[in-house]
Amino acid sequence: MTAVVVEKPHQLTLRETAPEEPRAGEVRVRVRRAGICGSDIHILHGTNPFAKYPRVIGHEFAGEIEALGDGVSGLAVGDRVVVDPVVACGHCYPCRVGRPNVCANLEVMGVHRDGGFRSRLVVPAANAIPVGALPFDVAAMAEPFSIAANVLERTGGAHAADTVLIYGAGMIGLTVLLAARLEGARCIVADIDDARLARAKEIGAARVLNVRRDNVPEAMKSENDGLGPSLVIEAAGAPHLIDEATRVASPAGRIGLLGFTAEPTPIVQQEIVKKELTIAGSRLNRHLLPRVVDWFASGRIDPSALVTQVFAARDAKDAFALIDRDPGSTMKVQLDFGD
């Protein structure tokens, strides 16, 4: 079986490894399709603070159940599943209050432990989420959309009455856009790249702003009866946007943060208190893959437009080289692990 391994920063290899047997409470998944994420690129480049090497990368993957360990119920050999990469301890404080994605002993597949860029792997049965008859390319998009589901969950959801400002028209910004549109919220997307903004417009943004040309705070003065956006999502990873978000948000507004920068930035408490803003960080997802699977299965979100290239898994190096060389031509690049 083929595994895509980052041996050490900047060194990607394909390895042949023997399949493991599932123990009690585990299942073995025959992986069919997997998506490459920015965080996989960071592990390859040595810029992910959590990664240990060598590492089988990959945390966005779907396939079918191939073997069941003892005591597994509700899943059968042949079931199509997507795997939730978040493995939590189940007994620390965040786990006890239903926040396993910030578990004190968190292990994310493909980051803290070996992941899904391989033909077969064993995962906890609870992490294998059935997807019915969804095609594998669609099912493998559930994890990236769970990032959007989680930030909306953390910020009270996007509703018809909301005006949503999304910073960033990369993969995460666009998944947030599609999820925020579900109940009819008005969505505005800001980015530095016109091609990305054109894509955002195509898939439902009511208004797009190029921050190199347009003054976002100025533009927000005409939104939501002059109050500014009721929901702001920071999916661009630029620290100064936290301050801008507090300034443009409407009274009673919510701000969701997805960027993961360690750079300090000033913010003004008065803006937050005066308008009683809610600011929420969002990391990974808490048990939200079933919700995303339902979005896909019901046809309310079609993620396939975001899959821009598919490579055979044995050509994984070419896939990573393309993303490095010409990131503008890619949105989601997938690896096909064959039948």
Question: Given the rule CB under 5 A, which residues bind Zn ion?
Answer: 88-89, 92, 95, 103
Distance CA 133, CA 82 (A): 12
- Residue 170 or 204: the one with the smaller Cβ distance to Mn ion is 170
Minimum distance, C-beta of residue 104 to Zn ion, in the bound complex (Å): 5
- Residue 77 or 89: the one with the smaller Cβ distance to Zn ion is 89
Minimum distance, C-beta of residue 241 to Mn ion, in the bound complex (Å): 21
Cβ neighbours of 158 (radius 10 Å): 29
User: DSSP letter at 250?
Assistant: P
Minimum distance, C-beta of residue 127 to Zn ion, in the bound complex (Å): 14
- Residue 230 or 285: the one with the smaller Cβ distance to Mn ion is 285
Strands (E), 113-262: 120-124, 128-130, 163-167, 186-191, 207-210, 231-234, 254-257
- Residue 60 or 223: the one with the smaller Cβ distance to Mn ion is 60
- Residue 37 or 220: the one with the smaller Cβ distance to Mn ion is 37
**From the list Mn ion, Zn ion, none, partner contacted by residue 121 (C-beta under 5 to 8 A by kind):** none
- Residue 109 or 189: the one with the smaller Cβ distance to Zn ion is 109
Contacts of 327 (CB under 8 A, 6+ apart): none
Report the run of H or E that residue 296 belongs to, with start and end.
helix 289-297
Minimum distance, C-beta of residue 243 to Mn ion, in the bound complex (Å): 27
Minimum distance, C-beta of residue 106 to Mn ion, in the bound complex (Å): 15
**From the list Zn ion, Mn ion, none, partner contacted by residue 197 (C-beta under 5 to 8 A by kind):** none
**From the list Mn ion, Zn ion, none, partner contacted by residue 103 (C-beta under 5 to 8 A by kind):** Zn ion
Contacts of 77 (CB under 8 A, 6+ apart): 65, 66, 67, 68
Identity (one letter) of the amino acid at 113?
Answer: R
Contacts of 91 (CB under 8 A, 6+ apart): none
Minimum distance, C-beta of residue 244 to Mn ion, in the bound complex (Å): 25
Distance CA 253, CA 128 (A): 36
Distances (CA, A) of 19 to 4, 22, 47, 82: 14, 10, 29, 19
Residues that bind Mn ion (CB under 5 A): 37
**From the list Mn ion, Zn ion, none, partner contacted by residue 95 (C-beta under 5 to 8 A by kind):** Zn ion
**From the list Zn ion, Mn ion, none, partner contacted by residue 305 (C-beta under 5 to 8 A by kind):** none
Distance CA 20, CA 143 (A): 24
**From the list Mn ion, Zn ion, none, partner contacted by residue 67 (C-beta under 5 to 8 A by kind):** none
Minimum distance, C-beta of residue 310 to Mn ion, in the bound complex (Å): 17
Please name which of 136, 219, 230 lies closest in space to residue 183, comparing C-alpha atoms: 230
Q: How many residues in total does the chain contain?
A: 339
- Residue 88 or 200: the one with the smaller Cβ distance to Zn ion is 88
Minimum distance, C-beta of residue 240 to Zn ion, in the bound complex (Å): 33
| Token duo for residue 285 | 């997802």
- Residue 97 or 160: the one with the smaller Cβ distance to Zn ion is 97
**From the list Zn ion, Mn ion, none, partner contacted by residue 88 (C-beta under 5 to 8 A by kind):** Zn ion
**From the list Zn ion, Mn ion, none, partner contacted by residue 37 (C-beta under 5 to 8 A by kind):** Mn ion
Closest residue to Mn ion, judged by C-beta, is 37
Contacts of 318 (CB under 8 A, 6+ apart): 311
Q: Which residue has the tokens 């997802």?
A: 285
